[in-house]
Amino acid sequence: MEPRRTVAALFIACFALLGSTQAVSLEVKEGNTTCIRAELSASFSITYNTSSGTSMVDVSLPDSAAVDPAESSCGTNGSPSWLVAVFGSGHALQLTFASNGSVYSMANLSLQYNLSDSSLFPGSNSSDVVTVVSSSLGIWATLNTTYRCNSPVSFNVGGVTVTFRDMRLEAYMPGNDLSDTESICTADQAMTTAPPTTNSTTTTATTTAATTTAPAPTPPGTPDRGRYSVLNGTGTECLLAHMGLQLNVSYFSRPQNKTIQSLVNLNPKLVNSSGSCEATTALLTLTQEQSVVINFTFTLNASTSRYHLSAISLFANWPDMTRPLLTGNASLNYLQSTLGHSYMCNAERVLAVAPDFSLNTFSLQVQPFDVTSNQFGTAEECQVDRDQMLIPIIVGATLAGLVLIVLIAYLIGRKKSHAGYQTI
Query: Is 137 in contact with 93 (CB distance < 8 Å)?
Result: no
From the CB of 184, what's the least distance to ligand NAG, in Å? 16
Q: Which of 10, 12, 17, 133 binds ligand NAG (CB under 6 A)?
A: 133
**Piece of the chain touching ligand NAG by CB under 6 A; list 110-118, 149-157, 189-197, 385-393:** 110-118
From the CB of 80, what's the least distance to ligand NAG, in Å? 4
Measured between alpha carbons, how far is 129 from 48 in angstroms, rounded to an integer?
12
Q: Which of 34, 136, 144, 363 binds ligand NAG (CB under 6 A)?
A: 144
Measured between alpha carbons, how far is 225 from 374 in angstroms, rounded to an integer?
18
**Nearest position to ligand NAG, beta carbon:** 90
- Nearer of residues 75 and 152 to ligand NAG, judged by Cβ: 75
Q: Does 89 contact ligand NAG by CB under 6 A?
A: yes
**Piece of the chain touching ligand NAG by CB under 6 A; list 193-201, 325-333, 337-345, 383-391:** 325-333
* Residue 258 CB coordination number (10 Å): 8
From the CB of 81, what's the least distance to ligand NAG, in Å? 9
Q: How many residues bind ligand NAG (CB under 6 A)?
A: 43
The residues, any chain, with a CB within 8 Å of residue 187's CB and separated by 6 or more, are 149, 151, 152, 153, 202, 203, 205, 272, 274, 287
- Nearer of residues 166 and 278 to ligand NAG, judged by Cβ: 278
**Piece of the chain touching ligand NAG by CB under 6 A; list 99-107, 228-236, 265-273, 366-374:** 99-107
Q: Does 102 contact ligand NAG by CB under 6 A?
A: yes
- Nearer of residues 32 and 234 to ligand NAG, judged by Cβ: 32
Find the binding residues for ligand NAG in span 29-88 (CB under 6 A).
31-32, 47-49, 53, 80
**Piece of the chain touching ligand NAG by CB under 6 A; list 204-212, 270-278, 282-290, 297-305:** 297-305
From the CB of 394, what's the least distance to ligand NAG, in Å? 28
- Nearer of residues 257 and 422 to ligand NAG, judged by Cβ: 257
- Nearer of residues 117 and 370 to ligand NAG, judged by Cβ: 117
- Name residue 340's beta-bridge partners: none
Site string for ligand NAG, 187-226 (x = CB under 6 A): ----------------------------------------
Q: Which of 212, 213, 222, 331 binds ligand NAG (CB under 6 A)?
A: 331
Measured between alpha carbons, how far is 61 from 85 in angstroms, rounded to an integer?
9
Find the binding residues for ligand NAG in span 251-280 (CB under 6 A).
257, 261, 263
From the CB of 94, what's the least distance to ligand NAG, in Å? 9
The residues, any chain, with a CB within 8 Å of residue 35's CB and separated by 6 or more, are 28, 29, 74, 75, 81, 171, 172, 173
Q: Which of 21, 73, 202, 248 binds ligand NAG (CB under 6 A)?
A: 248
Q: Which of 29, 34, 57, 114 binds ligand NAG (CB under 6 A)?
A: 114
Query: Is 330 in contact with 314 (CB distance < 8 Å)?
Result: no
Query: Is 200 in contact with 140 (CB distance < 8 Å)?
Result: yes
Terminal alpha carbon distance of the chain: 121
From the CB of 162, what's the least distance to ligand NAG, in Å? 15
Nearest Cα residue to 233 out of 140, 304, 321, 148:
140
Measured between alpha carbons, how far is 404 from 393 in angstroms, rounded to an integer?
16
- Nearer of residues 89 and 322 to ligand NAG, judged by Cβ: 89
**Piece of the chain touching ligand NAG by CB under 6 A; list 16-24, 349-357, 369-377, 378-386:** 349-357
From the CB of 299, what's the least distance to ligand NAG, in Å? 7
**Which residues contact ligand NAG (rule: CB under 6 A)?**
31-32, 47-49, 53, 80, 89-90, 96, 98, 100-103, 107-108, 114, 116-117, 125-126, 129, 133, 135, 143-144, 174, 248, 257, 261, 263, 301, 303-304, 329, 331-332, 350, 354-355, 358, 360
